[in-house]
Amino acid sequence: MHGKLMTISRFITEEGRKFPQATGEFSDLLEDLALAAKVVSYQVNKAGLLDIIGHAEYENVHGERQQKLDVIAHEAFIKMLDHGGHLAAMASEESEEIIPIPDQHKIGNYIINFDPLDGSSNIDANISVGTIFSVHRKISAGERGTEADCMQPGNKQVAAGYVVYGSSTMLVYTTGHGVHGFTLDPAVGEFLLSHPYMKIPERGKIYSCNEGNYTYWTEGTQKYIDFIKSDNPDLKHPYSSRYVGSLVADIHRTLLYGGIFLYPADRKDPKKPFGKLRLLYEAAPIAWLIEQAGGLSCDGFGSGILDLVPTSLHQRVPLIVGSREDVIEYRDFIRKYDRK
């Protein structure tokens, strides 16, 4: 037996003892999340067999055709989380409005923003997909949670993380005391601690972005990408390009191997001037997680992601995130070429 097998429940409890201010309620919420992740993992891994691949009958709130697994994941997280007594409201990518806690259930002191199944357009190609979640304390006065509780800046998060449904299912989270990774052992149905205190390398050798959008990026972003693809002697080392097109898969690799992930603002679609990714349940949790692992994040316009004050539930934001030295180098190009 390699070292002691630490389940996520035991780890959360032991970590909770180190930080007495963390209430038991908070630990229970994380355990509910882990349970929901097991349910979704089972569905995702069985997708091909249970004929739930392919488009659902209708489109989601953003006019995107909703994959059946999207719907299953969305409903699984709601069903697993709405009766634990820890939440006052939820917000999901798949729901235009916030999701209230049913009348018959106890209302708690936290809210959760989540993307139930990010990257779902890749499901048919059997590419890794993921769930992303962000937890805040309720701040509104009334009993029930409100949009204002969900629309807090990333620097107010109390927990954030993702589940990556890949060759194995992993849950990676932070509560502000480091980043910890757990791998699901299907035999026992437990998430076991496999990556304690994860740290992102100071600098990586991989850049990750959709270069098909190059024409639409700002000059600073274009010059940065040109630089890391060049043989400029100022370059610390050559870079490789890796882009899955599934946010959780690209971020998980960036966390483990280092480097930089970019979904910058682009002028491709005037309706989406800030790129494709959402602030509340994609960029903010990812940015906090990477910063907790020693990395950096920015929006390409001079702000850190965690300082952005949300203005709408599903607002989009550019996301540049990764190894400290790589993000600092990117910011230098933005400062040099984009500051008018």
Cβ(169)–Cβ(35) under 8 Å? no
- Minimal distance, residue 151 CB to ligand P6P, in Å: 20
- Residues numbered 291 to 310 that lie near ligand P6P (CB under 6 A) are none
Of the listed pieces 1-9, 71-79, 243-251, 289-297, which binds ligand P6P according to CB under 6 A?
A: 243-251
The nearer residue to ligand P6P, 186 or 212, going by C-beta atoms, is: 212
- Minimal distance, residue 296 CB to ligand P6P, in Å: 19
DSSP string for 121-184 = GGGGGT--EEEEEEEEE--SSSSS--HHHHS--GGG-SEEEEEEESSSEEEEEESSS-EEEEEE
Secondary element (H or E) of residue 228: helix 219-228
The nearer residue to ligand P6P, 66 or 246, going by C-beta atoms, is: 246
- Minimal distance, residue 93 CB to ligand P6P, in Å: 9
Q: SS3 of 336, please? A: helix
CA 198 to chain centroid, in Å, comes to: 16
Is 245 a binder of ligand P6P (CB under 6 A)? yes
The nearer residue to ligand P6P, 107 or 287, going by C-beta atoms, is: 287
- Minimal distance, residue 75 CB to ligand P6P, in Å: 20
Return the bridge partners of 113, or none: 91, 134
Of the listed pieces 24-32, 75-83, 239-247, 307-315, which binds ligand P6P according to CB under 6 A?
A: 239-247
Is 121 a binder of ligand P6P (CB under 6 A)? yes
Task: Supply φ then ψ for residue 231, to 5 degrees.
Answer: -105, 30
Is 318 a binder of ligand P6P (CB under 6 A)? no
Residue 39 to residue 248: CA distance in whole angstroms: 18
Is 225 a binder of ligand P6P (CB under 6 A)? no
Residue 110 to residue 88: CA distance in whole angstroms: 6
Residue 252 to residue 181: CA distance in whole angstroms: 10
The nearer residue to ligand P6P, 118 or 190, going by C-beta atoms, is: 118
Q: Which of 84, 108, 119, 220 binds ligand P6P (CB under 6 A)?
A: 119
Q: Which of 12, 37, 80, 247 binds ligand P6P (CB under 6 A)?
A: 247
Residue 202 neighbours by CB under 8 Å, 6+ apart: 258, 294, 323, 324, 325
Q: Which of 118, 190, 291, 326 binds ligand P6P (CB under 6 A)?
A: 118
Please give the residue ranges that form the binding site for ligand P6P (CB under 6 A): 118-119, 121, 210, 245-247, 276
